[in-house]
Every structure is written in C-alpha cells, then in structure tokens.
Structure 1
Amino acid sequence: MNHRTLGNVGAVSEVGYGSWQIGSDWGDVSESEAVAAVEAARDAGIDFFDTADVYGDGRSEQILGDVLERDIASDDVTVATKAGRRLDPHVADGYDEANLRRFVDRSRENLGVETLDLVQLHCPPTDVYYRPETFDALETLVDEGRIARYGVSVERVEEGLKAIAYPGVESVQIIFNPLRQRPAELFLDEAAARDVGVICRVPLASGLLTGALSRDTEFAGDDHRNYNREGDAFDVGETFAGVPYEVGLDAADALAERVDAVAADPTDATGDGLSLPQLSLRWILDHDAVSTVIPGSTTPAHVRSNAAASELAPLDEADREAVADVYDEFVREHVHQRW
C-alpha cells in the first residue's frame, strides 16, 4: 500500500475505506459483516478510515472505534469523521460553536478517543463557507484539544474552492471519479497549490463502476440507490454520482468494454487482470493532487481488490482517452456544470 500526504494530517494510505455502508442507507448490513470488512481493510494495508456521525446514527463510528481500538490508541490509523448533518433543520445558522462542540463530543464518545484526528463539515449549506465564525469555532475546538485538524466535505467544486481560502482547512472531500470529472479542471490544482489534502468519495459511483449492476438490479427500500435517485433525501449527486441510472449503466458498459480490450492485449502494461473498479480507482489516483480515495464495501474480497489498486501501474494514454471519451459521450451533459 502506497501512502500520500493529507494536508497537515500526515501520511495516509492512498486507498482508504469509506464506512457509510457499515452505518446505514445501503440495505441491511449485519455487525459481523461490518467488522469483517473493517478487518479486511486493515489486513490490506488501509490505514485511513472515513465516517460520519449520521451514518447509522453513530453506528459506523462505534464499529470503527471498537474494531480499530488498538490501532487508534497507537496512532497506526487515521479516522476522519464529519459533523453537521444532525442539524434539524439543516441550515447555515446551525453551524455554530455550541452545536459543533456537541457533535464533536458525541463522535469522541462513539470512537472512544479524546481527540478526533480530522473533523469535516458534512456537506453544509453553501452559505456556511461565507461564515468565518464557523471556521473560528473549529479553531476553538482545536485549541481545546477536541479535534486535531479540520476540513470540509463538499457537494460542489465552488464550495471546495471557497473552503480552501480558509488557512485552517487541511482537507476537502469531494466526489471525483470517471463519471464526475469536473474537479480536475481547476480544483485539484488549487488544492495542491495550497497543500490542502483531497479525499475522493463515491469513487465507484454507488456501484455503477463495479460492473455488478444492471437494469434488473433491485435495491432494498432502505438503500439510498432506491429512495434517493431523484434527490428526495439528500443531494442527488451522492447517489450514482448524480448520473441517471440507465445512463450510468451505458457508460459503465462502455468502460467495461475497454477493460476487456486491455486485458486481452498482452502489450498493455495495465492489462491482465485489471477490473473495472480498479481501472476507476487507478484513474483517480493518477491525479497527483489526490491524497486518498475511499471506496466502501462490506465484502472482504472487494475491499482487498480495491486496496490492490494502489499497486497498479498508472493508466496509459489510451486508457485515459477511453475514460475521457466515455465521459464526453454519455455523462458530461448530465453532471459537469451541475456540481
């Protein structure tokens, strides 16, 4: 497993583990399945784990805290959590010092730590980025020893660009994958210029880029890929990266054809066993400004396969052109200017 620098947080595994799935919103996941997935991640060399206080109302944090207790105590892992989505209503005025302290203290208890490694504002309303007092509050929590560093998780590129103007912001978490390419136009360069870490979430577009979904796939009622396709519960960009499902399937099929062609070509250095999700993860990691990518899974074999993308050779020009062509043909019109 290779490592990269995440702002002033330090070195983290370039493939991390996103733990939304072990909390909620992905159908029924037993505790034993969640524990096995986290253990598989550690065994694969992953030492960066991303969670949030609302994933299963704290369930994800609690499982990570229990399974990683020794690694957390010895500073062998970095656990990033998020705060803010517990607000009801979820409005900019709620991102004040009192609420953030309350959310942070709850996460400290869930994870079993005195100081949280990294706290990210959890996709707050855009107006929050124009409230310096919110970032002053985070500085206060650092001074109090409740958190070590802070960052933001954003929906839109513009929010990320605004956030990195605050000197204390160490990281920006953003959706970036072969079906959501706009961050590569400006944001990644700006983040790198300021030494701000970039955490890439939804790297496999909610499963579209695994090649395992089809038009006949049925999702459970409590799976966001069922109930949030139109953005009824939260930003639609979090579900299938905002790509209409059928369009996403067509795009994934087109990329899969490229994967098959690469695997069949013995002269291609990235071929011979490259899977669609590994192609997608490698495409993300080939952007130097990316600090870590956080695929989530509850299947240990998938977790290990995702982690293995760290050791793959960079994609060649033909692969990159293929990803660009698929994006332009199928996806760009649906997502590029929206986020």
Structure 2
Amino acid sequence: MSENIIQTANLWKTYKDRAAVRELDLHIKKGDIYGFLGPNGAGKTTTIRMLLGLIKPTKGVIRVFDKDIRKERMDILRRVGSLVEYPSYYGHLNAVENLEVLRRIINVPKSRIDEVLSIVDLTKDAKRAVKGYSLGMKQRLGIASALLGDPELLILDEPTNGLDPAGIQEIRELIKRMPLEHGITVLVSSHLLSEVEQMASRVGIIREGKMVLQDTIASLQSQTGSTIRLMVSAPEQAIKLAREQGQFGQQQGAVLTFPYMDNTAVALLIRRLIEQEHDVYRVEEQRQSLEDLFLRVIGEGASV
C-alpha cells in the first residue's frame, strides 16, 4: 500500500506572468482517497489537467504508475478514469445507450455497462432518458463513464459541486466504496472541507498554486486541540481549586474555560468541586475542527 500512484516534483504551470501552479510536490499512494483541497482558483483543475496530459506543464515532473506522463501518456490513461468539471452525455439517450457509445470507443466488454451501472446505483433507472435525471444522477452517470474502462485510478474534479445534501451524500458514499470494494485509488478535488473530511484518507491543501499542507486525515485530527468548559455555582473559588490541581484556565461569569485536559484531569476536577459542595451545571468539550486547522494553515484571508 506504500506504492505511489501519482508523484509530482517541482511542478509549474504559468500563463504569461501568472503562475497557476508552482513548486507542486504531490504524493498519492495506492489505496488512498486523496482529498485535493483549496479555494476556487487555487490551481486544482489546472493540476488535474496536467495529471491527465490535457495541458503541458511549464516545468517539473509528473509520474503516474511510476511512468512519465510525457513519454507514456496513452499507457497511463488506459488505467485512469476521470470526471473533470461536468459530465457529458446525450440527453435523449438513456444511461445504457450513453455508456454504449463510450464502450465502443474504448473497446471494453458489453457486460461492463451493467457492472458500472450497478456500482453507481443506476440499474433501476438505466432505461430512462438522461435528460430526466436529477443532477446527482447525472454525476453518478459521469462516474460510471469514468469507471467503464475498469481503471486503477479515478480522478474526480469537484464531483459534488452544485448538488443538494442528498446528492452530496450519494457521491460521498460511492467514493468511499472505491478502494474497499474495487481496489481503485481516488483523487477528488473539492473546496468543501466537511465533505473531504468524511471520505478522504489523505489530503493536500493548495493555495495560490502551491501546496501548503499534505498529510493523513488521522494525523491532522491529532493536531486539532480542544477546550473544556465548565459552568459552576461559585466560579471564583472553583478557578482557585483548579489552579491547585495544576489546571490554569480563564473565568468569564459562571463559565470556566481550560485548554485541553485529559479525561483523568477532568474527572478529578469535577470530583473535587462536588466534594467541596460546588454545583457543576454543565461540562462541555469544544474540539477545534479540521476547518479551523486548515484556515490557520492557509491564512485567515482565504476562503476554502
């Protein structure tokens, strides 16, 4: 599982005097669901187009399946499925007919159509004209098209963009199944941090064309801190008692706020407060979200 499926080194794409992507080192391992995050205009789609060989980098190296995209593009693309921006389809045709058009081009077995429709849960709607599909169903059909060639790598550019909450959940659950059920590595770009947090195993955050953070979700979650808040009957005496225990917090009215305390320290403080006949009205943990961490990394001025 340590094999790099995608690796870039010092990747640049410049247009006249503007760098859309700069110094980008991207590492995506086999079996990852890799969340590629950044504000709109950060360079996500430009990077994806370079990974697919649709545009040439100004400089730098792109290796996919340990092959140079400049030298072995067609060999690479046979193993890649992609959905960049919005899916294309013939609205008057049904799902099977749309996939049949693509199947003839890429020359895969006809049985593959039923397989991919099952993967994206469109079997029961396979004979309906696509123009009557919801936006979420059209996105799923786009993913089915990307899966038709039985790829090892799936690249999805903003697949939940414009979807309602139900559609977002459908796409999210579909993506989460890819590595587990089909052995497919997934690169999914998004500006929706909450969505990526729920499905990705690793993330990279890009800002103004440059990677500012790349790590596993588990590692990032371990970096998020939390605050313990207590509402008590006698806050002045309670804060002194906490200091005697080695816990230094702040008091605002009846509320005491402490930087992270482990469960043992929280239990000890509450027990001592009760033993000294303090009323403890409320105990809350406020955990810093990944979004807070991301905003701190990329800077408060950016909107992700």
TM-score after normalising by structure 1: 0.32
Greater C-alpha Rg:
2
Q: Name the structure with the higher helix share.
A: 1
Q: Name the structure with the higher strand share.
A: 2
